[in-house]
Structure 1
Amino acid sequence: MLTSYLKIAWRNLWKHKLFSVINVFGLASGLVVCFLAIAHIKGSFDYDNFHPNRGRTYRILTDVVGKDNDITPFATSPMPLAATLKRDYSFVEEAARVAKTYAEFSSNQKRFTTVSYAVDPGFFRIFGYKLAKGRPATEPNTVVLTRETAEKFFGTANPVGQVLQNTELGQFTVTGVLADMPIKSHLVFDMLFSLQTPWNPQQRASFADWRNYQTGLTYVLLKPGTTADALKQVLPSVVGRATRNLHFKTEKGYSLRVQPFTKLSPSRQELMRATNEPQIGGLLVEAGVGLLTLLLAAFNYINLTLARSLSRAREVGIRKVAGAVRWQLVGQFMAESVILSLLALGLANVMLEFIKPMVFVQKWLIGGVVWNWQLTAIFVVFSVIAGLLAGVIPARILSGFQPSQVLRSQTGLRVIRGISLRKSLIVAQFAISMIAMIALLSMSRQMNYMATADYGFQRDRVLTIPLNTIPAQRLANEINQLAGVEQVSATSELFGSYGYDHTVKRERNGLDSSTAFVWASDPQFIATMNLTLLAGQNLPPATADSVASGGSRLVLINEEAAKTFRLGNSREAVGKSLWLNDSTEVQVAGVLKDFRFTSFAWSIKPLIIQNNPAQFRYLTVGVAAGNEDAVLADTKRIWKRLSPYEPFTGQWYTDFLQQRHTHPEDMDFTTLLLVLSFSIACLGLLGMVTYNTQTRVKEVGVRKILGAQVSQIVWLLSRDFVRLLLIAAAIAMPLGYLAGYAFLSNFAYHVSLGLETFALCFGSLLVLGGLTIGIRTYRAALDNPTESLRAE
């Protein structure tokens, strides 16, 4: 019987090739998006499974209770906790601290900012990060590198025994190179260096402070046979003893809890200071997008199957008269669905091979995912289930026809008065696609706005050059001599990037601290970037004393900083003092007019600019109009002479902002999803229009003989479908507005959802839908009526 079902199903699919192709392509498009989501979800559960002691390893989380009794969970915990647990409790086999830093290291005439973790020696005993060469970094001032970082600094040479230099922590000896991780880890880093390295007194005090729960992660390895309950029971007493006499400034206190390493990824809770494990909410969104795309394809199958319901009803009637029962008819229709889903599975795998190399897909979805037989089995089972679910509605409806219904002209499928189920599904398809288009267009316009908007500083004809190991002054002197160069200055950050904030106070021991961005630049920077000085004077030139003491004591601030720290207006703020990180007193030399120097997601933040040559990382070169190409070529020659082994990576400021904010790889993938959704919807519409014209071919022939024009016939055949497109647009516009606004509300400065956005989306919907309808109906209207009426 099963063989008979499959043969008949195959013959039906082959007989109606257009509908079969539409269904296979639609299901394949939905499946490929679902496959990407499935692969990412599976990969998120595989994070860190190469560590040998996962079942006995735990991370300690901190639940901080605020003054308003709100609880904020942190992935970090107090730094003294690891040593206390290992020393006082015999069931703890090992405990280790992990502190994340963004540090700049230099070696071999190269300098890079790295993502680093300072780790205890126990880290290498808890985790299974294997070394390709050398030994772990367990002694002070030792470091192990990833393979990519080792190649950046030393090329193909053996890095073991080489020295890296850090301005704050001194020299580090490379003791080993880490092997490539077989899969992804929640810790993403360029290097691991020893936490035993001598730190400055302020940092050491921070590490010993039980009130400081935001600096480091704590991992605990329990002895075999010990349950997590033993660790849970001792944490309250540890916190009680450690914090009994401590005073907290902004919170009431905190408690500690245990997170099993096996449940670390995906993260079930949004944590502050989190690591790189996927969030369960993001995975659910991905799954939702995949299922929504698949649902659009399922709509096609339901639509086209029910559209042919009259011809299938006759088939059902004959089978029932011949003695078939309902479950046998359901089996026949479900067999067709399974064959379609298996064909779609094959096409989806072909499409997946073309999508896999996309940057966004590799970086955010399937990078590091192990493609094994288990994942393949999941894909096959998912495809069969998707096919069965897509076919269940048509199967139940069609198998329920009675033989007496065969001669009726309609199947009576209604959702609401005047709108059939098939029409409702078409409206849903195009409404969902248009909502996605409005959201995507809003995202694209916002990214373009962030890349091209007026930031309040000079962005045209400004060349930015990462310094690496070349002294800023030496390179500036060389470039200053070039024809066409107007200004040359040095800075620690580029405007338009995120930067790092610092704690700033009016009084050293005051409680009125706030955060501000502290950037370093020289006196020429104001003129190069065309900033406006409202009051006071520019930064003074650097002196030997200011360099030795970590920067000039005279600083520039923006208007927002004067307001935040209550320094009065611009003139009143000049001459007043501020304290940076409780250790450095600076005096306001001048006040700059506010400008946008960070992400558009934030409103303008307090900014402090200090002349500190030790922090200079970029050179900015103002170029006269018409001299851009010549200056760029001459600068490259100077760079080649001063740093022959380091490639020139300078770029124009406009290009930097474009790359920083447009995220082309994200937009490419989102556009792909939009194209797939519209393709599915248009193909479904094409199938419906095709079937509609086929059932009305004799009517068209009679009307043409009676004198109807081609345009009249086209309108007759297409007006119902155009009406459906208008209904879809009416539904999608308000929902699309909400979707676009939800995205734009994340930015302090954003574009507006104007009429142009909706006009473009509405126009695209009408063009795509109109072409789909018009081409098919126009061909039907041109058919010779003698062909359709010959049998009459």
Structure 2
Amino acid sequence: MFYRYIIIAIRNLRRQRLFTFVNIAGLAISMAVCLLVLISTRKNFSYDNFHPDAAHTWRITSKVQTPDGRKYHMASTPMPIGEALKNNYTAIRQEVTLYGALSGEARINKKKININGAFTTPSFFNVFGFKLAAGNPLTALTTPNNIVLTEEAAKRLFGTNDPMGKVITFDQRGSYIVSGVLQPAPSLTHIDYEAFAAMSSVTALEQNHALPGRLQNWDIFQDNYTYVQMRPGEGRAALTAALNDIAHRYDDLPGKGMPHIAFEPQALGRISPSQELYNDIGNAPPWGKMLAEMGVALLLLTCAGFNYTNLSIVRSLQRAKEVGVRKVNGAQRWQIFMQFITESVLMCILSLILAVMLLLLAQSTHFNALPVPDINLLNGHLLLLFFVFSVITGIVAGAIPAWALSSFQPVKVLKNLIDIKLFGGLGLRKSLIVIQFTLSLTAIIFLVTVYRQFSYKAVKDMGFYRKDILNVPLADVDFQLMKERMLQLNGVTAVAASSGTLGMPRDANFCQMRTAEGKDYIEFGYYAGDADFLKVMHLKLLAGSSFPAAASKEKEQYVVVNERAVSVMGIKTLAEAIGKTLWLSDSLPLNIVGVVQDFNYQPIEMNIRPMAIRYHPAEFHQLQLSMAKGDKEQQIAAVKKIWIELHPGEIFSSEWMDEQLLARSGQEVISMLGFLVFISTMISALGLMGVVAYTSFTRRKEVSIRKILGATAPGLLVLLSRSYVKLIIIAGCIALPFGYIGSEFFLRIFAYRVSIGVLPILGSFMFLVFLALVTILSQTWRAIEVNPVDNLRND
């Protein structure tokens, strides 16, 4: 019986080739996007699923609330908290500390490679279950200056040579002996360091001032991550009680105008997908991105499903008598239902084949609008997952038309079929049109808002200069020496040393300073820059001057602040701020030598907050070269030549500042979102075309009689089209407020944003109306052009 269903389904699909093509094409494109999301979601939920006893393992997080009400939930903690938990609370079985202060250039003879590393405790292997391909996990991290490498890092450093016992040297972090090589993790993990050194190495590094004092410091929260494993029978409640007890050491801070601090456990299995905590580690995508992807995929699949339902209704007109005859001959309703479900599932399987072919094509051509991950799409388990997904999609998409068509009564079916009624007599076809175009118009309005906001972000004047600035890494060369060499080039007009690029969130640093003992701490964002930083960045100096030429490289003495900082400090005029002292960590006085006009040192999502530019050469990581107009390739070649002379054997890299900032302006997001909205709109138009074709078919005799009685072509076009224009207007009335609300919520992410405006919303609506009219008229015109004799010859 099932075989016969398939044969009949294939015959019907071949007979209705146009509708088959439209259905399969719409479903295939939608399923291609859904399969991408399915792959991505499967990958995102594969993080950290191999750790032993994960149910009893927790990461400690820090919650900070500043006196002005701002809240920060950080993945990092003070370093002493791990030892305090292990030594003072019996519910804690063991703890692991990860201190991410080992990153930098690792040297093997003359070979230099950047390594992202961390210091950690010997319990690392027991708690997380990582295996060693070489070395003993019981001793690999017990001896100071021992280091364990990932297999990939070992190959990068040593090639095919045995790394065990070899020495690796880090700038300012000393030398380490390779005591182990990690096996590749069984699955993805948020712990993505390339090297792990013994935590016992930190003591000597702090004594030699190669690292700041952190082992006993409860006031610094950055770069340190604490994990604990509970004893059997102990859970979140016991850990929370211990953390609350430890947090009492901060009880007196709010009374001094300092932040309120608390600690909270986070289950190991809940770290990925990311909850977007501050200072987090790993590459797991955030929940918001995952939910957005799934929402878009569901929207596309819903539109494609509606499209299939609409076109199934159209096809049912040619098959209504078939259903009636089969029922008269004794066919049961479930048999007819299964016939239509079989056709729906078969169409989805054909769409799946086309979707996989589209993904393979996109993967081979690197099509940007459809970013396909670099995985084997023909993997057996993955194909089985795709097949199950397509079968479920076919059943869901075909259920309503199969249920409705199998319910036809033979007498009515053999006489006439006007419409399938649903929900108290409301036409199913009308409901689907309204829903489809409501979704499409909402998406178009949202896309227009996103496009306008990101375009505004790309061109907004952030208060500093960004064009013709070439960023070049300093590496381990003295900034003054390299600066002098670069200034000798003809195309270089000015050079500044800095800690990072203005406007790049990863480059912004933060510190707390106060004006005097007993005063409240003020949180400052800061960049390190030399005396020419203000000049190269075109920052407007409102009072004072830049850093003096004789500023010490060893001891930090000076700072330049922005207008907002002066206001928060309670100083009445900018001139009065010159000469004032800011205390960093209560021990380092910094003299204010200048005040600059406020500018967006962070992306426009953030309001302008107190900001400082510090003369701190130890934090200089790059030179920013102001280049004259000219051939950029030749300019880069000249810069590269000098850079290679100063960094023999190393790989040169550089980046234009405007291109770096433009890459963060969301152009890829606009491209992807535009592609998805275009697809959903086209699918909606195809669905409308199917329904209009349905109407034209059912009213063919009426149109013929009206033509014989003298009706004109414009009159017939209005007659056949006006009901659908009403439906589009109804969809617009529903979608406009939804689109406005969605756009408003999106724009609230940005401190500096465009206004939504009436014209963009109305323009989106008029575009959709135009598309609908073209679709409607293309079908109604074909209906009124038919010779009446052809429709009435048998009546």
- Is residue 525 from structure 1 mapped to residue 533 from structure 2 by the alignment? yes
Relative distance call for 1:576 and 1:96 in structure 2 (3 A) is same
- Equivalent in the alignment of 1:125: 126
The aligned amino acid for 2:10 is W
Counterpart for residue 607 of structure 2: 603
Separation in 2, partners of 1:255, 1:634: 52
> What CA distance in whole angstroms lies between the structure 1 residues aligned with 2:530 and 2:348?
65
Contact 2:692–2:779 (8 Å) recurs in 1: yes
Asked if structure 2 preserves the Cα contact closer than 8 Å seen for 1:309 and 1:411, the reply is no
1:629 and 1:244 map into 2 onto residues whose CA distance is: 58
Task: Confirm or deny that 1:736 pairs with 2:730.
Answer: no
Against the structure 1 CA distance between its residues 294 and 112, is the aligned structure 2 distance closer, same or farther, given a 3 Å change threshold?
same
Shift of residue 235, structure 1, vs aligned partner: 6.8
Alpha carbons of 1:447 and 1:164: their partners in 2 closer, same or farther (altered >3 Å)?
A: farther
Over 3 Å counting, the alpha-carbon distance change for 1:501 and 1:391 in structure 2 is: same
**Please, which of 210, 232, 249 is the counterpart of residue 227 of structure 1?**
232
1:404 deviates by: 3.1
**Aligned-pair CA distance for 1:484:** 4.3
Task: Output aligned runs, 1:235-634, within 5 Å.
Answer: 236=241, 240=245, 243=248, 247-249=252-254, 254=262, 257=265, 259=267, 261-262=268-269, 265-266=272-273, 274-276=280-282, 277=284, 283-355=290-362, 373-406=380-413, 407-411=415-419, 413=421, 420-498=427-505, 499-507=507-515, 509-510=517-518, 512-543=520-551, 546-549=552-555, 551=556, 553-625=557-629, 631-634=635-638
Deviation per CA, 1:671-729, whole angstroms, max 9, x where unpaired? 33223312321222232334444445566666777777766665555444444334333
Residue equivalent to 1:761: 764
d(CA) in 2 for partners of 1:370, 1:174: 38
Task: Judge conservation of contact 2:491–2:628 (CA < 8 Å) in 1.
Answer: yes
Bigger drift between 509-518 and 347-356 goes to: 347-356
Corresponding residue of 1:670: 673
Asked if structure 1 preserves the Cα contact closer than 8 Å seen for 2:243 and 2:263, the reply is no
Per-residue deviation, 1:119 = 1.3
Aligned partner of 2:22 in structure 1 is 22
* Higher alpha-carbon deviation: 196-205 or 644-653: 196-205
State the partner residue of 2:57.
58
Report the counterpart of residue 168 of structure 2 in structure 1: 163
The 1:117–1:228 alpha-carbon spacing in structure 2 relative to 1, beyond 3 Å, is farther
Code of the residue aligned with 2:560 in structure 1: it is L
Match of 1:119, as an amino acid?
T
Report deviation, 1:72: 8.7
Q: Which secondary structure does the structure 2 equivalent of 1:469 belong to?
A: coil
The reply on whether 1:686 has 2:689 as its aligned counterpart is yes
Aligned mates of 2:368, 2:568 — CA distance in 1: 39
**Letter paired with 2:691:** M
- Distance change in 2, residues 1:659/1:470 (3 Å): farther
Paired residue type of 1:649: S
Pair 1:10 & 2:10 matched:
yes
Deviation at 1:31, TM superposition (A): 3.0
CA contact (8 A) 1:232 1:257 kept: no
Q: Do 2:56 and 2:235's aligned partners in 1 also have CA atoms closer than 8 Å?
A: no
Work out whether residues 360 and 377 of structure 2, in 8 Å CA contact, stay in contact via their aligned partners in 1. Answer: no
AA in 2 matched with 1:583: S
Other-structure match for 2:750: 747
- Residues 345, 391 of structure 2: 8 Å contact kept: yes
Query: Normalising by the residue count of structure 1, what TM-score does the alignment of the two structures yield?
Result: 0.85
Letter in 2 for 1:442: T
2:727 aligned to which of 724, 729, 735: 724
Q: Is contact 1:106–1:469 with CA below 8 Å preserved after alignment?
A: no
The alignment yields a C-alpha RMSD, in angstroms, of: 4.1
Which residue of the other structure, out of 647, 653, 658, is the alignment partner of 1:643? 647
The letter of the residue matching 1:736 is G
Is contact 1:567–1:576 with CA below 8 Å preserved after alignment? no
Alpha-carbon distance between aligned partners in 2 of 1:313 and 1:516, rounded to the nearest angstrom: 74
- Whether contact under 8 Å (1:502, 1:580) holds in the other structure is no
3-state DSSP of counterpart to 1:515 = strand
Answer whether contact 2:471 2:655 (CA < 8 A) is retained.
yes
- Mapped to 2, the partners of 1:588 and 1:91 lie a distance apart of 50
Shift of 1:448: 2.5
Which secondary structure state, in structure 1, belongs to the residue aligned with residue 530 of structure 2? Answer: coil
The secondary structure found in structure 2 opposite 1:189 is coil
TM-score, reference length from structure 2? 0.85
Shift in alpha-carbon separation, 1:272–1:538, aligned structure 2, 3 A:
closer
Q: Structure 2 CA distance, aligned partners of 1:539 and 1:596?
A: 21
Contact 1:361 1:367 in 2 (8 A): no
8 Å CA contact retained: 1:118, 1:193: yes
Q: Is the 8 A contact 2:377 2:383 kept in 1?
A: no
Conservation of the 8 A alpha-carbon contact between 1:232 and 1:258: no
Is this contact kept in 2: 1:486–1:621, CA < 8 A? yes
- The 3-state SS of whatever aligns with 1:548 is coil
Tell me the alpha carbon deviations over residues 506-538 of structure 1, each in whole angstroms, 9 at most, x when there is no partner: 246435112112222111222222221111122
Tell me how far 1:557 sits from its aligned partner.
0.7
Structure 1 residues 624 and 642: CA distance shift in structure 2, 3 A? same
Q: Is the 8 A contact 1:98 1:117 kept in 2?
A: yes
Determine the C-alpha separation between the residues in 2 that align with 1:484 and 1:342: 61
Q: Following TM superposition, by how much is the alpha carbon of 1:112 offset from its aligned partner in structure 2, in angstroms? A: 8.0
| Rounded Cα–Cα distance in structure 1 between residues aligned with 2:602 and 2:228 | 38
- Native 8 Å contact 1:556 1:608 kept in 2: yes
Given that 2:253 and 2:259 are in contact with CA atoms closer than 8 Å, whether structure 1 keeps it comes out as yes
Residue identity opposite 2:206 in structure 1: N
* Unmatched segments (≥5 aa) in structure 1: none
Offset, 1:317:
2.6
Q: Is the Cα–Cα contact under 8 Å of residues 105 and 113 in structure 2 kept in the other structure?
A: yes
Secondary structure class of the residue paired with 1:738: helix
Which range moved further: 30-39 or 703-712?
A: 703-712
> Deviation of residue 171 (structure 1)?
4.6
Deviations 1:429-452, CA, capped at 9 Å, x for gaps: 122122222222322332232222
Could you say what secondary structure the match of 2:490 adopts? coil
Equivalent-residue separation in structure 2 for 1:115 and 1:770 (angstroms): 58
Query: In structure 1, what is the equivalent of residue 47 of structure 2?
Result: 47
Q: Distance in 2 between matches of 1:630 and 1:747?
A: 38
Q: Structure 2: state its 5+ residue gaps.
A: none
- Matches of residues 112-151 of structure 1 in structure 2 within 5 Å? 115-130=116-131, 136=140, 138-146=142-150
Relative to 1, partners in 2 of residues 1:473 and 1:211: Cα closer, same or farther, differing over 3 Å?
A: closer
Q: Write the distance in 2 (CA, Å) between the matches of 1:65 and 1:472.
A: 36
Percent identity between matched residues is 35
